[in-house]
A and B are shown apart, each in its own frame.
Chain A
Amino acid sequence: MAQFHATVVVTLKPDILDPAGDATAQVLRQMGYLVDDVRMGKHIQLTLEAESVSEAEAAVRQMTESLLANPVMETYTVRVDAS
């Protein structure tokens, strides 16, 4: 077993309303920034043990599908690095 670091970025699907992103965009515009859109997401870092990069990635995808993201309204990307 080796140790791997994984990064999961979870974002709302484009057609899902994002009140937090909208409020943040509005405040940025009011501060004078030329911002068209803000979407809020989650950046999750995990450290885990696995036999290989591919096994680690499969495990992280499973964790993401079952808990970290809600596939109904969110999409995600997974990146795994050997430590």
Chain B
Amino acid sequence: MNIAVVTFPGSNCDDDTVRALHALGASVIRLWYRDRDLGGIDGVILPGGFSYGDYLRGGALAAQAPVMEPLRHAVRERALPVLGICNGFQILTEAKLLPGALRPNRQGTFLSTWQHLRVTRASSLFWGLREGEYLRLPIAHGEGAYYLPPGQLASLFDRGQAWLQYVSFDGQLTAAANPNGSVANLAGVIAGSVAALMPHPERAMDAALGSADGVRLLTAWLEGIRRRSRDASS
């Protein structure tokens, strides 16, 4: 099973993501934003960072990078699992592979802090990560306020695409627990085989450094892919 991590000009969490995947025993292939062939991969991560310097809008220019064309094709033709982290989330919304958009944080400042999250909807993409489970992950973003045009929020929840929500340290879904002004405290969404979140699981790989919940999340994603490949081959 091969997992690809894509590096765009300005990605800065790609090495951390590769390291996290290696720690979980995954075999990793590195892709460059100019690659037009994904190779034999079973999943791909668009890592965090500041692709193209965040020029125009975060993720807007990376969404047009050459590598996005085969990626889009693989999502459409074989439901390739894609995970976007932070800037990867922005790229996936700009590429219209996920609904909505990421706006500048409500308070107008970059945020770098620990954040509690709730799994609002279980997904077969994340095997074993159950609805109602909590995660503690770091967030670090300037444009992380998830936005949906008026009237589209209910259908996001109805379709089971509202995946992760920001909650308080004691698990309450409150306005005060919303760090950046995201609609409905949304921190992560899923559409088909494409999932993304603003928090950084690859920075939460060791309890001694604050949290190992990134291990839970990434392990669940890898296990989802493993079971999917097994089902496909049997």
Contact = CB atoms under 8 A, between A and B. Distances in A.
Interface of A: 19-20, 23-24, 27, 30-31, 40
B66 A20 contact: no
A20 B57 CA distance: 10
Contacts of B55: 19-20, 23-24, 40
Contact of B64 (A19, A20, A27, A40): A27
Contacts of B56: 20, 23-24, 40
Given A23-B53, A23-B55, A24-B55, 15 more contacts: A19-B53, A19-B55, A20-B55, A20-B56, A23-B52, A23-B56, A23-B61, A24-B56, A24-B61, A27-B64, A30-B64, A30-B66, A31-B64, A40-B55, A40-B56
A31 B61 CA distance: 11
A20 B60 CA distance: 12
B192 to A, nearest CB: 25
Interface of B: 52-53, 55-56, 61, 64-66
Nearest to A18: B55
9 contacts: A19-B55, A23-B52, A23-B53, A23-B55, A27-B61, A27-B65, A30-B64, A30-B66, A40-B56
A27 B56 CA distance: 11
Interface of A is mostly: helix
A19 B52 CA distance: 10
Contacts of B65: 27
B94 to A, nearest CB: 11
Contacts of A40: 55-56
A27 B52 contact: yes
A34 to B, nearest CB: 16
Nearest to B63: A27
Contacts of A31: 64
A23 B65 CA distance: 12
A35 to B, nearest CB: 13
A3 to B, nearest CB: 26
Nearest to B34: A30
A24 B61 CA distance: 7
A20 B66 CA distance: 19
